[in-house]
Amino acid sequence: MPTIVVGGRAYECPPGATLLEGLEAHGVPMRSSCRAGSCQSCMVRAVSGDVPEAAQAGLKATLRARNYLLACVCRPTGDMEIVTDDDAITRVPAEVVEIGELTPDVMSIRLRPEAPYEYRAGQFLRLYRDDQTSRCYSLASVCELDRDIELHVTRVPQGQVSNWIHESAHLGQTMTISEATGNCFYVPGKPEQPILLVGTGSGLGSLLGIVRDALRQGHTGPIRLYHGTLRRDGLYGADRIAPLAHEHPNLRYVPCVLREEAPPEGSQGSVVQVALTQNQDLTGWRVFLCGDANLVAGAKREAFLAGASMDAIHADPFLPS
């Protein structure tokens, strides 16, 4: 009889019962609705144990890669440990090892966690100023390529965490971060598939991480990276992107400036309009969107109307606190 561990307690799941049925029989509170694998409200994450293929039917590849499953259709074949709430996550101390200015409003901060730290390029973490104050920041580094984790932090007016980082962060300081989460990352497979990446401001950080990770894993299809800002002084990263594009001809980078003239290699105008004008048919493409929440929402809709399937669109909107 499979044993299911959740919340530090072990429960036996009767043979043939679903994970949802087995836990409910023991009085474990579980979210559920349709109980047929359609609504996904019963989705949980397996920390250990084998996940039956049928338990992941209909989930995005990024969710499957993180061992998410649907409890209502999961019939355990062996012992498993699951978590039902990603907010109950581990806090990790990390040392500030590098600080740099990317633009007048965006700084780069590199952190070295005190313990092994696993993540996927494009995910995000929570950075704590104190027990009551924290903000989420996307990861701009690649776990397999970089020793330290990198965050790009935009200074937000009256931002309690961003201003603290910009004004008070110093080398050798210990900060507290959460484990990484989020589903906006590259999953290997279909290496010839075209990829479109569109981001604004410091959203370039996670997109650049995704690009580096895709190239690291041998992606050969076209990769189109669009970065949008209001003014030219908001652009950054060309010094890191140019060598990648030289080494990998399938990568093309287009900087976009909305209110000023763009650099020679870029375009003037809305980054979403430029990207979709230059790539009008997104049928069969994989799409990554990162940055301003309103722009990401609009870009997601436009990408779908241009032919991209919803399960191939991965978004990381930067939501206001």
Q: Distance between CA 315 and CA 107 in Å, rounded?
A: 22
Domains in the chain (CATH in brackets) are 3-83 (3.10.20.30), 91-178 (2.40.30.10), 195-318 (3.40.50.80)
Q: Distance between CA 321 and CA 278 in Å, rounded?
A: 34
Q: Distance between CA 113 and CA 167 in Å, rounded?
A: 21
pTM for the full predicted model? 0.82
Distance, first Cα to last Cα, the chain: 45
Q: List the one residue out of 46, 44, 116 whose CA is nearest residue 80.
A: 46
Contact 125, 147 (CB under 8 A): no
312: number of Cβ within 10 Å? 22
Q: What does each C-alpha distance from 281 to 90, 197, 223, 248, 309 come to in angstroms?
A: 42, 14, 14, 23, 12
Q: What is the DSSP letter of 312?
A: G
Q: pLDDT by residue for the chain (321 residues), tens digit each?
A: 899 999 888 999 998 899 999 999 998 888 877 888 877 878 899 999 999 999 998 888 888 898 999 999 999 999 999 987 654 567 899 999 999 999 999 999 999 999 999 999 999 999 999 988 999 999 999 999 999 999 999 999 989 999 999 999 999 999 999 988 888 999 998 999 999 999 999 999 999 999 999 999 999 999 999 999 999 999 999 999 999 999 999 999 999 999 999 999 999 999 999 999 999 999 999 999 999 989 999 999 999 999 999 999 999 888 766
In the numeric block, which tokens belong to residue 80?
Answer: 């498993």
- Could you tell me how far CA 164 lies from the centroid of its own chain? 24
